[in-house]
Chains A and B, each alone.
Chain A
Amino acid sequence: MTHSTDNSAGSTVGAPITAQQQATRQPLLRVDDLHVDFQTYGGVVQAVRGVSFEVAAGQTLAIVGESGCGKSVTVQSLMGLIPMPPGRIHKGTATLRGHDILASKFVGGQDIRGREISMIFQDPMTSLNPTMTIGRQIAETLEVHRGYSQSQAFNRAVELLEMSKIPEAAKRAKQYPFEFSVGMLQRAMIAMAIACEPAILVADEPTTALDVTIQAQILDLLGDLQQETGMAIILITHDLGVVARMADDVMVMYAGEVVERGSVDDIFYCSGHPYTQGLRLAMPSNKRAEDGGAEQTLLAIDGSPPDLFNPPTGCAYHPRCPHAMNVCAQQAPAQYGLGSTSASNQGLSHQAACWLHHELCAAQKDQP
């Protein structure tokens, strides 16, 4: 697939997607050039600086990045969870099935939150109301969005807990959050999130607080539910193992910008941005020597993520980048289209925001 890139634009935003691509893809959710900032006493924090992506039904998009890179703010602004002020969405659009969800969260008089897009959070302990039984909390969603009666809603809540593979669901529904373990609470959160059969489930670090064995259970559950309901999942995580396991598409964020996006194979097997490559090399791989793995040394990324009060000029990654050139400090790179490893044309096209893919650099690389 060839991808034309408009280098002369000179802006930090992604190259526009051609009309033809747009027609073939039909995304469920489409976010374009989203900018979110926060007014604070210390100045303006530019948390999200031009993020564009699409999510198709039944697909999982993973948003990867370190703390403070803007991944949570991106999805929270879609859900209307950003307190304004101090927050401000000062540019960009987000459409769900063609409807602008930044302007209004109501479609046909119905709040899309909880109904069309629902969310599970990192810490289930603090995300549930400690004074309500688990069953009532799930039932409440159904009463509000579906107009179920109390008993109808409660029965449905028990079914949902069963779908989330909570043993003895009828008994558990009458219990309070403190009687649940963290893993069980996260299942209850998932049951609540899928109560109204949402089109998109946003999972913000859903397994970070959990042990690996429980993490595996929760990830399997999410995968099974996606198969059953065909919902799209936006998975926010910093764990590349979880990404490899769950994602169809991946978007790598750094300092509020998308530095690379593409299918999961593109990102893992032919990543085009030094930050993505750096993340991969900073993690130990567990290949045995006989399977072609060698005893590696971890390559740390020097320095720390930038301060978003004052993001670096040019490419935000240049102070830490081993390939940084003069141009990197001065001008932000455009999104360059890259070749894709996956044969299918579905999902995100492979793009990286890095000057190394500029034609001058690419030409130099080809020379012996």
Chain B
Amino acid sequence: MSKSANDYTTANPALVEISHLVKHFELGRGQRVHAVDDVSLSIYPNEVVGLVGESGSGKSTLGKTVVGLHDKTAGQVTFNGTQLPARYGGDDFRAMASKMQMIFQDPYSSLNPRMTVGEIVSEGLRLRQDLTPAVVQEKVAHWLRLVGLSPDHQSRYPHEFSGGQRQRIGIARALILEPEFVVCDEPISALDVSVQAQVVNLLGDLTKELGLTLLFIAHDLSMVRYISDRMAVMYLGCLVEVGTSAQVFFDPKHPYTETLIASNPEADPEHERQRPSTTIQGEIPSPINVPAGCRFANRCPKAMSHCSTQTPLLKPIAGEGDQRLVACHLYT
């Protein structure tokens, strides 16, 4: 399902253009959480971009800010060439709901327990005044069937479903308005292994059938590599590396990506026995007091003296096309 690197060198206009996006949370007393700091990323039509990073790296905040669930502190997001407002009002949400949607991580808390499945899935269709109740019914039934549930499930409540089934309800809810762009925020993390594959395959099939564009946020590197065309790696609010999934996974450039991928245990005992221990010391620093210079410098095995003073910018790697980006002084 992955596309070759060359597909991105052609100057296709991006569907979603994130430029210099910043999201800070004020804590009072002059302290702030630097959740997303100066992130720029172009997402092209019909591609799946995987976003990986440790918890606390700002992946979910980035996703939520892009769809407007958080106000933007600075920077902008354009969708199909139109700039989106920095702070969404009710009208903005109504206008964007049929273009951008979100699938949430926790299938237990993201569905209202007091609404039936039919009400949950059809809620978005209330924006479409032109639809008669009969058409709405039909659409809900159609979408429940598409995600592998039965139309008879409409009158049931979320508690009657398993985690995998609830995630399917969340998918139907997000896709019934036929959006062009969907942010999937860890849609499979809460599910069992056998059910994860069901949901991933469903998302993959729907993406292909409907021509969707996805921003797929997860921390399971193998799964992200599997589903994504391109992969972006985030560390402490900044993007450190972008490239096709195969490039990032098999040929990581940034020392952080290298460690992240080396830490990912492979379901192959032979491979695991031969692999040297490659753990890095320390943990992700607090996003309140971000280190100066490269944010990874204090844990980086290849850190140089100027890494802790100069901030590396996300730039194309020489000779690898203009879509293979890395933010590291090793490559400048």
Q: Interface residues, chain A, CB within 8 Å of chain B?
A: 66-67, 181, 183-184, 211-217, 219-220, 238-245, 247, 264-265, 268-269, 278-280, 282-286, 288, 295, 297-302, 304-305
Q: A283-B222, A285-B268, A304-B162 are in contact. Are A212 and B197 (CB under 8 A)?
A: no
B198–A300 contact, CB under 8 A? yes
A283–B265 contact, CB under 8 A? no
| Nearest CB on A from B181, distance (A) | 24
User: Nearest residue in A to B251 (C-beta to C-beta)?
Assistant: A288
Could you show 6 A-B contacts with beta carbons less than 8 Å apart?
A212-B265, A213-B263, A214-B54, A219-B265, A241-B264, A286-B249
Of the candidates A264, A301, A304, the one having the most CB atoms from chain B within 10 angstroms of its own CB is: A304
Name the B residues within 8 Å of A283 (CB-CB).
Answer: 193, 197, 222, 267
B219–A211 contact, CB under 8 A? yes
| Nearest CB on A from B142, distance (A) | 21
CA distance A67 to B191 in the complex (A): 9
A183–B283 contact, CB under 8 A? yes
B54–A284 contact, CB under 8 A? no
| Nearest CB on B from A256, distance (A) | 15
Name the B residues within 8 Å of A295 (CB-CB).
Answer: 1-2
B219–A212 contact, CB under 8 A? yes
Name the B residues within 8 Å of A211 (CB-CB).
Answer: 54-55, 219, 284
Judged by a CB distance under 8 angstroms, whether B12 is at the interface is no
User: Nearest residue in B to A297 (C-beta to C-beta)?
Assistant: B201
B222–A213 contact, CB under 8 A? no
Q: Which of B122-130, B271-279, B301-309, B319-327 contacts A (4 or more CB under 8 A)?
A: B271-279
User: Nearest residue in B to A210 (C-beta to C-beta)?
Assistant: B55
Q: List 11 extra interface pairs beyond A215-B265, A284-B226, A286-B222, CB under 8 A.
A: A181-B283, A183-B283, A213-B260, A216-B279, A238-B192, A240-B267, A269-B270, A288-B250, A299-B197, A302-B198, A304-B195
Q: Interface residues, chain B, CB within 8 Å of chain A?
A: 1-2, 54-55, 162, 164-165, 192-198, 200-201, 219, 221-223, 225-226, 249-250, 259-260, 262-272, 277-281, 283-284
CA distance A12 to B178 in the complex (A): 49
B197–A298 contact, CB under 8 A? yes
Q: A213-B260, A216-B263, A304-B162 are in contact. Are A66 and B194 (CB under 8 A)?
A: yes
Q: A67-B192, A244-B272, A304-B162 are in contact. Are A217 and B267 (CB under 8 A)?
A: no
B198–A268 contact, CB under 8 A? no
User: Nearest residue in A to B199 (C-beta to C-beta)?
Assistant: A300
Q: A244-B272, A304-B164 are in contact. Are A284 and B222 (CB under 8 A)?
A: yes
